Structure 1
Amino acid sequence: MKTDSFKLRHIGPSEKNLGSMLDTIKVESIDQLVFETVPDDILLKKPLNLASAMSEQEYSAHIQKLSTKNKAFKTYIGLGYHESCLPAVIQRNILENPGWYTAYTPYQAEIAQGRLEALLNYQTMICDLTGMELANASLLDESTAAAEAMTMLFAVRSRDQKKKNVNKFFVSEEVLPQTLSLLKTRAIPLDIELVVGDHQQFYFSKEFYGAILQYPGKSGQVYDYADFVKKAHDSEIKVAVAADILSLVSLKSPGSFDADVVVGTTQRFGIPLGYGGPHAAYFATREQYKRNIPGRIIGVTQDLNGDRALRMALQTREQHIKRDKATSNICTAQVLLAVMAGMYAVYHGSEGLKYIASKVNASAEELSKALQSLGFEQLNTAFFDTLRIKTDALKIKEIAETHEVNFYYPDTNTVSISLNEATTIEDLNGIISIFAKSIGKEAIQIKEIQNISTIDRNLRRNTEFLTNDVFNTYHSETELMRYIKKLERKDLSLNHSMIPLGSCTMKLNAASEMLPLSDPQWGNIHPFVPVEQTQGYQEILKKLEDQLTEITGFAATSLQPNSGAQGEFAGLMVIRAYHESRGDHHRNICLIPSSAHGTNPASAVMAGMKVVVTKSTEEGNIDVDDLREKALKYKDNLAALMVTYPSTHGVYESAIKEITKIIHDNGGQVYMDGANMNAQVGLTNPGAIGADVCHLNLHKTFAIPHGGGGPGVGPICVAKQLVPFLPGNPVISTGGDQSITAISAAPWGSALACLISYGYITMLGAKGLKEATEYAILNANYIKERLDGHYSVLYTGERGRAAHEMIIDCRPFKANGIEVTDIAKRLMDYGFHAPTVSFPVAGTIMIEPTESESKAELDRFCDAMISIREEIANANTDNPNNVMKNAPHTLAMLTSDDWDFPYSREQAAYPLSYIAENKFWPSVRRVDDAYGDRNLICTCAPIEEYMEAEA
């Protein structure tokens, strides 16, 4: 046994178990299984050209050496990114804790109450600070959130505005440059006309439907926007405000001056800079827009006992349900980062946040006075943390960089300085000495910071916030540690059992991949520092791009998209730019199979395309004849086909090369959704099947943990003809020579998370990556054979094999009164998270075990499924009081003096012997989604208050 082999640690089934698994599947070798599963004409003829696999020890030394190539200067650039102080109790117990970072999206609320409570805290924090009625459970970054605000306000225009096609959107010139770039990206395909200008000179006309302001502005100037908002509303213009979250502790909330939407980032609340991400953005708005708000909302409801419970609210509104009627393609969040930011507020409370914000503001005031006393002109008349100094910027830059300090230089005569939570008196004196040196004067020394606010009364916050008990209880490390642990115990994560979700690969997130995220040499790098200070990052990001390019069989990669949904949109926008470069502006038809992920049609509409759905055959494959007919019908306007491979039905379609050829023959490009890439790596690739662009879910195939629903990373890989159009950034040069505008705020998206995938690929190497794919197929087919005779698999390949996942048909069980949801809830009693429920076919479950799960764990899952099948057989429609309908069973039920059920407590809690060794208890009974949607509560206030108000 090679104990230094990472492959040995990552792949679950052992060599000694391989033989019996192959016997169960009825093949002699994995090679035979692959032959019977994957079409021969798409198999790679040679291995991937990747460096030899490193051991975990070699990788640890390698990543440490690369980190020293990053120069962690003192950085005061600002522009939406600021150094913050991550409390060690949050770092150790959340960021570094697999109980938090390996959890899945909380679709199964009964086993996710901890995360849901943490996200409810986050939403409450956002509502309090912004002064708005409703907030979601986070978005991807501030610029993306601003773009979502622009498109949401476009969607909710008045009937008269829509009739008159009112499409102008005003953008203050004080908006962050990366946000402006992203607004352009989103506006173009929707025919929204951006008008950029000075908000103080804006002419309020009926030609505009919306506007966005920055608070404070990118220059650091704090404006009083109350008059602007009033005049805008008088002209039927709705206003979005992009607000710095820490400044809202000291400045009056946008809600108080009647903003319609407030967006921003919570990175300042203890989240590492990470060279641009991942960070949790926030989005807050009025309750009247609750069915238009993008992303996810956590709401309060009740369980079967009438007790308080939490779940994702308004689930039928989610964008992947709306498909081509969606106003956003985002169906995810930045849960792990939102949990950390919310816990930062829990730890500090309102008084702690006031102390931090006051210290930052007072430091800026002291620095302003000191620099003015040296003779420098400070241009901002009202500021929170940012000063603008009129001086020779080039001279300051030269001196500053020799002192390992970064400022922002908007022009040759201005230096911008943004202070932050980590700024000390020593840092302030260092800044003063740089400016003093530039004019040959002796530096003035600041000895103490007078904590007196100089913010004008008209701008100063005078309302309370974070008054709920949760923000006023856990201020010692002991108390917060226990609170975090209490929440963790309510959640089922990968550190307890497998999460067998179809289309959401939940594989091992190895500790050796995760450790670098805690290193400040990676975490404390601002995304807009000069690239020569980030040589460690540059080397890794370039290597990762090259690795992904090789794995996909394409020509180049962009790491900028920071979620799968953003990857879809980026890929389609690159296709759009390619067609336009050839004069084919009219190509706007996107063919999408009926079995596709719901985000596919949403992304196509966002990219300005018209969706035409193609049929599936009874076997679940793309109907090639129907596809050919529609490709010919729309050949003059065909832009693209969106296809998932293997299919969403868990099958390697043998006609895939014929399908891609049909599209190319009719002038279109092929976009491949990379959701199922875990069944391709090392065996085949998007290039081999004839695709032109794909996005990759690094949080699925390439081992970035799901974090309870985010972070995700969704880079795009493209064929040669699309390389020139890869996305750029307005601050740091990226992308092709004809690049589309920004897809996310940071040049390389969530760069810190990319370290994980780099480690995964580097430690597995070509051979290990291929074996990971083979074992994913092995494990899926092992489950399929073990469940044979108990459940029916809906779709298989031509030789009866599943790909890496399979769909189990549960519709016949309705005859016994059992729905697919009942199976999902009963699995909780057996200690498992349910597979994907009712997607892509209603009344089914989709199972994907991944390569990380051992034979023993697969057997436990199969035993549970077989036991449940027996329970289904014993159920009947005449008596709904059965073990399936009452699942899940809580500890409170089992220990109650009352037991009014026609089965034993043992059958309820311990139906199989293995469960007693490691019992997981759902913390609530089955939740009532309908009640929660009728009584929408999305903040921390006790449910009793709302019940009393309703009564």
Structure 2
Amino acid sequence: MKLNVDYQELFEQRHIAPNEQDTQEMLDAVGVNSLEELIAQTVPQNIRLKGAMDLPSAKSEFEYLNHLKQTASKNKIFKSYIGQGYYGVIVPGVIQRNILENPGWYTQYTPYQAEIAQGRLQALLNFQTMVIDLTGMEIANASLLDEGTAAAEAMFMQYSLRKNAAAKKFFVSQEVFPQTIDILKTRSQPYGIELVIGDHRTAELTEDMFGAIVQYPASNGEVFDYSDFANKAHEKNIKLTVAADIMSLALLTPPGEWGADIVVGTTQRFGIPMGFGGPHAAFFATKEEYKRSMPGRIIGVTIDAHGNYALRMALQTREQHIRRDKATSNICTAQALLAIMAGMYATYHGPKGIKLIAERIHGLAVLLSNALQHLGYQQENQAYFDTVRFNVGTLLNAIKAEALNNEVNLNYQGETVTISIDETTSVEDIKTLVRFFGKVKGINQNDIDVDALKGDLTSTIPASLARTSAYLTHPIFNSHHSEHELLRYIKSLEAKDLSLCHSMIALGSCTMKLNATTEMIPVTWPEFGNLHPFAPIDQTGGYMQIMDELNRWLSEITGFAAMSLQPNAGAQGEYAGLMVIRAYHQDRGDFHRNIALIPSSAHGTNPASAAMAGMKIVVTKCDEKGNIDVEDLRAKAEEHSANLSCLMVTYPSTHGVFEESIIEICDIIHQHGGQVYMDGANMNAQVGLTSPANIGADVCHLNLHKTFCIPHGGGGPGMGPIGVAKHLVPYLPGHAVVDISQEKSIHAVSAAPWGSASILLISHAYIAMMGAEGLTNATKYAILNANYIKARLEQHYPVLYSGANGRCAHEMILDCREFKALGIEVTDIAKRLMDYGFHAPTVSFPVAGTVMVEPTESEPKHELDRFCDAMIAIRNEIADIASGLLDKANNPLKNAPHTAAVVTGNDWDKPYTRQKAAFPLPYVAQYKFWPSVGRVNDTHGDRTLICSCPPLETYAEIETV
């Protein structure tokens, strides 16, 4: 036997599921001889790339992790006391292993199909309850992207609620975190909002101000009593936003008790690693009266079809795909996975545990302050929670040098040093700080007895600001404090949620592909998780290498000159790209260019993002095939030529088609002085075959949580970096704290300079292990799998749009509108799919009454067949309704989903069998996933909006409805 010592397992073979036999059978079903023939029939020749992408050779999984360990070692993990919104944390092992590292949690989709998402919805309701309790507010959402963007959302919500249309000023305390002020500058400019930055103690509040924001505690560490400021603001009809440290609220009077209208912040301190900037779940809480203006997702309590307690996303009419350019926000992604972790942190520790952690942090800060004052340093904060502040004058450089010698990072502002204590700080750490501060003054460490000072610690928080109200009183936060109890609680919720662990999630435009374990492993390495985003650049060599490589690779894939990795969501990338275009026009003196042409088929975030960027939206028509109506586009480009800013276009189209006229479309825009913004939602059909630059785009955002394998996490995290052509590079986002600015950079769009940096590792791993050939093959198989489903289903469901040769791209739209005559809505099909063990495809987008299917390259043929079998069986059930074999009102579709309680109950009043209800195909018994509730009643939930955990007796009341 001849031995092969050069064999290397390719990751591509693990990521792309169909084997050779599957491939041939699918090609036969599609009616082509080869994969290349299918691609030639699908992707227009005039946009095809001429050669292979210039990317490094693919690494095996083993090789990649070994190589990455070497790269990770270039990050120097110093003890961080920088603070400024980012702190060291202790991630409870039970949460890290069973949520953060668990595909049963991180591969779930956004909970639009509530009946198979009850576990995650409960975890997010817990998060909302935690936020409401700690802030003292009345309602909270289920997370935003980061503290800075949450503050910007608050500013815009205040602006939209103002009664005086002439009020265009927004007061910003100079002690708000600098990265937050940077984002406020970005968001205020398109609306002509004037930021008035100053000292809240001396500021003059005027009638032309609509809102204000303060930091609690302030960025310098001082805890101010803002109650008088709040009263003065309200006298002038000025609404007040408070950016609050959630850990401090265990000890400080919550803002809701002294006059806040909105409270925002980050829950990073609740067990989420710093990760060089993210991802972290921001919170947003406000008053009940503002619930319909609040951005983001809200989880609400309702009942199901049987009167049982159920949860779902509430007030969904505010979503961007409905309100479009009238939406109050462009937010599409939350930080669900991180919000769930933060909520579980509160569940695990409970109110007593959270208070003890907060008291310990505060106590160590007082200990440090007392010790340093014994050394002769003057503490400048009178009241503080975790941050002490010293003006060290000429000793600054010596302190900085000693800090580095001791592998410590402090925060330096001029001659002032601030030191922020966190959950990971120990008494030994305090001794280290005191020792080198003493050394700078020539004081021997033996003369400093820190232990002796431990017995005389008194809180610096004045009685007027000390919290007296209870929080986290619900039994959920008082029942799961042992690891066994929390583990079982986590698993009980996980069991209610369908994820990629169970079956394919064939969502059009959302690309639920494999999130490989090897891609996920490095995210929790301490070399990446424990790095502060404002750490000195010479300590971040590993991250710098990874981001430089990712920048170059994504630039090669897109054909662009450079990327900005800062936007931490797809919609954030849209906004960043449009702001870059805006800056480009204005730099050329074209301030009047503010018209954005947007096809009627566009994602709802497109017009919402354009409106936020200060643009006026002009909608262009689509033809009967779903393509952009070129002549209508041409006419509108000519009509608005003088003021044209850009076209926003998705490619392949939102209808799942490679439009033949795309180059002509881009040329029309350029002829009239506009820029082409390409929405990268459908890059899964482009990589290696064509590129945004190749079709003529100037800017494109990439959904790394789609094409490049960052998992959806139950509705976030995501990343939405933008690529730009050479002429737009100077305008890429900068940052107020870390110098990443280009020549003419716009202000920041995210709080951290590189967004949610730690999850960039996932996309880096995917590209490195796939290589150019693997990535190209992934695209080809995404197109093959989609066309195979099309071939199997098009005789049962009309396929709404297809390309010139009858092919779809990586997704297709199945038309279900004809069933409405039988009383069957597309929602009924979605709910019935749950009984077959599947999450529904995208419902009623981009066309009402349809489903959009995207299988991805990671699904094997037998899984595609299971899905097709389910869709065909449902179509046959619809046929039985048409023929009268099934009752028009009382049938498996109208009663779906069927829960175990209903199917196994003593009473069965349905005119079809239990077997038909629960096990409609032979494979279902083997793979059965039971929805935990019946069909959810959205109307009931919106009519009686409850967005926090109700008291236990409520559960019993609901069950008797």
How far does residue 282 in structure 1 lie from its aligned partner after superposition? 0.3
1:847 corresponds to? 853
Residue 550 of structure 2 is aligned to residue 547 of structure 1: no
Residue 751 of structure 2 is aligned to residue 742 of structure 1: no
Q: Distance in 2 between matches of 1:555 and 1:343?
A: 42
2:682 partner letter: N
Residue 447 of structure 2 is aligned to residue 446 of structure 1: no
1:859 corresponds to? 865
2:172 corresponds to? 171
- Aligned counterpart for 2:468 among listed residues 462, 469, 489: 462
1:257 corresponds to? 258
Q: Distance in 2 between matches of 1:776 and 1:446?
A: 63
How far does residue 946 in structure 1 lie from its aligned partner after superposition? 10
Residue 931 of structure 2 is aligned to residue 922 of structure 1: yes
2:429 corresponds to? 427
Q: Distance in 2 between matches of 1:293 and 1:331?
A: 14
Check conservation: 2:366, 2:458, Cα contact below 8 A: no
Q: Distance in 2 between matches of 1:875 and 1:176?
A: 61
How far does residue 3 in structure 1 lie from its aligned partner after superposition? 6.3
Secondary structure of 1:378's aligned partner: coil
Q: Distance in 2 between matches of 1:320 and 1:416?
A: 45
Deviations 1:541-565 (A, max 9, x none): 1100111000000100000000001
Check conservation: 2:704, 2:710, Cα contact below 8 A: yes
Q: Distance in 2 between matches of 1:81 and 1:848?
A: 38
- Aligned counterpart for 1:729 among listed residues 722, 725, 735: 735
Check conservation: 2:8, 2:60, Cα contact below 8 A: no
Query: Which residues in structure 2 correspond to 1:519-668 (within 5 Å)?
Result: 519-668=525-674
How far does residue 331 in structure 1 lie from its aligned partner after superposition? 2.1
Secondary structure of 1:886's aligned partner: coil
Check conservation: 2:242, 2:264, Cα contact below 8 A: yes
Deviations 1:246-275 (A, max 9, x none): 000100000000200000000000000000
Q: Distance in 2 between matches of 1:533 and 1:366?
A: 29
Deviations 1:645-672 (A, max 9, x none): 0000000000000000000000000000
Check conservation: 2:107, 2:713, Cα contact below 8 A: yes
Q: Distance in 2 between matches of 1:816 and 1:732?
A: 61
Q: Distance in 2 between matches of 1:100 and 1:707?
A: 6
Deviations 1:29-58 (A, max 9, x none): 010000000000000000000000000000
How far does residue 816 in structure 1 lie from its aligned partner after superposition? 1.9
How far does residue 944 in structure 1 lie from its aligned partner after superposition? 5.3
Secondary structure of 1:864's aligned partner: helix
Check conservation: 1:320, 1:331, Cα contact below 8 A: no
How far does residue 332 in structure 1 lie from its aligned partner after superposition? 1.9
2:148 corresponds to? 143
Secondary structure of 1:673's aligned partner: strand
2:451 partner letter: K
1:900 partner letter: D
Query: Which residues in structure 2 correspond to 1:691-840 (within 5 Å)?
Result: 691-840=697-846
Check conservation: 2:318, 2:327, Cα contact below 8 A: no
Residue 216 of structure 2 is aligned to residue 215 of structure 1: yes
Check conservation: 1:704, 1:712, Cα contact below 8 A: yes
Residue 126 of structure 2 is aligned to residue 102 of structure 1: no
Secondary structure of 1:199's aligned partner: coil
2:509 corresponds to? 503
Q: Give the paired residue count.
A: 946
Q: Distance in 2 between matches of 1:827 and 1:6?
A: 32
Residue 944 of structure 2 is aligned to residue 899 of structure 1: no
Q: Any gaps of 5 or more consecutive residues in structure 1?
A: none
Check conservation: 1:320, 1:329, Cα contact below 8 A: no
Deviations 1:427-460 (A, max 9, x none): 0001101101111112323227457533110110
Q: Distance in 2 between matches of 1:678 and 1:666?
A: 30
Segment drifting more, 495-504 vs 11-20: 11-20
Secondary structure of 2:641's aligned partner: coil
2:139 corresponds to? 134
How far does residue 395 in structure 1 lie from its aligned partner after superposition? 1.5
Query: Which residues in structure 2 correspond to 1:213-612 (within 5 Å)?
Result: 213-391=214-392, 392-411=395-414, 413-443=415-445, 444-447=448-451, 449-450=454-455, 452-612=458-618
Check conservation: 1:713, 1:750, Cα contact below 8 A: yes
Q: Distance in 1 between matches of 2:139 and 2:51?
A: 54
Secondary structure of 2:207's aligned partner: coil
How far does residue 917 in structure 1 lie from its aligned partner after superposition? 1.0
How far does residue 735 in structure 1 lie from its aligned partner after superposition? 3.6
Residue 913 of structure 2 is aligned to residue 908 of structure 1: no
1:45 corresponds to? 50
Q: Distance in 2 between matches of 1:123 and 1:178?
A: 25
Instruction: Report % sequence identity.
Output: 64
RMSD, aligned CA: 1.4
How far does residue 927 in structure 1 lie from its aligned partner after superposition? 0.1
Secondary structure of 1:377's aligned partner: coil
1:750 partner letter: S
Q: Distance in 2 between matches of 1:902 and 1:635?
A: 63
Deviations 1:802-850 (A, max 9, x none): 0000000000111222110000000000000000000000000000000
1:188 partner letter: Q
Segment drifting more, 937-946 vs 86-95: 937-946
How far does residue 205 in structure 1 lie from its aligned partner after superposition? 1.5
Q: Distance in 2 between matches of 1:219 and 1:366?
A: 18
Q: Distance in 1 between matches of 2:809 and 2:134?
A: 48
- Aligned counterpart for 1:152 among listed residues 151, 157, 161: 157
Secondary structure of 1:602's aligned partner: helix
1:58 corresponds to? 63
Q: Distance in 1 between matches of 2:407 and 2:552?
A: 31
Q: Distance in 1 between matches of 2:581 and 2:656?
A: 27
How far does residue 320 in structure 1 lie from its aligned partner after superposition? 3.1
Check conservation: 1:728, 1:736, Cα contact below 8 A: yes
Secondary structure of 1:322's aligned partner: helix
Q: Distance in 2 between matches of 1:137 and 1:266?
A: 12
> TM-score, with normalisation over the residues of structure 1?
0.98
Check conservation: 2:168, 2:208, Cα contact below 8 A: yes
Q: Distance in 1 between matches of 2:504 and 2:297?
A: 25
Change (3 A) 1:742 1:499: same
Q: Any gaps of 5 or more consecutive residues in structure 2?
A: none
Check conservation: 1:173, 1:198, Cα contact below 8 A: yes
